[in-house]
């Protein structure tokens, strides 16, 4: 599965990176981005980040 951070919505709070930095990192624009595909075991961590993002900027990609 792949996750996606909507750059127009992210406010750069970096919470997702604190929750799971194996998948999320901050980019030069001060927004979060996904830099790794998500393996099955990691899905719960990514879902935690999705649920915790204050502006709901993170989604699963189809």
Report the residue number, 38 or 57, with the smaller CB distance to ligand F3S. Answer: 57
Is 53 a residue that touches ligand F3S (CB under 6 A)? yes
Which stretches within 1-57 are classed as H helix?
15-19, 43-52
Chain centroid to CA 60: 9
Least distance CB 12 / ligand F3S (angstroms) = 5
At residue 59, the 3 state secondary structure works out as: strand
Report whether 38 contacts 50 (CB < 8 A).
no
Report the residue number, 12 or 21, with the smaller CB distance to ligand F3S. Answer: 12
Binding residues vs ligand F3S (CB under 6 A): 5, 10-16, 32, 53-55, 57-58
């Amino acid at each position: 599965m792949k996750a996606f951070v909507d750059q127009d919505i992210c406010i750069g709070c970096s919470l997702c990176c604190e929750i799971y930095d194996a998948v999320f990192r901050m980019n030069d624009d001060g927004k979060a981005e996904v830099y790794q595909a998500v393996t099955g075991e990691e899905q719960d961590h990514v879902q935690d980040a999705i649920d915790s993002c204050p502006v709901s900027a993170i989604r699963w990609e189809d």
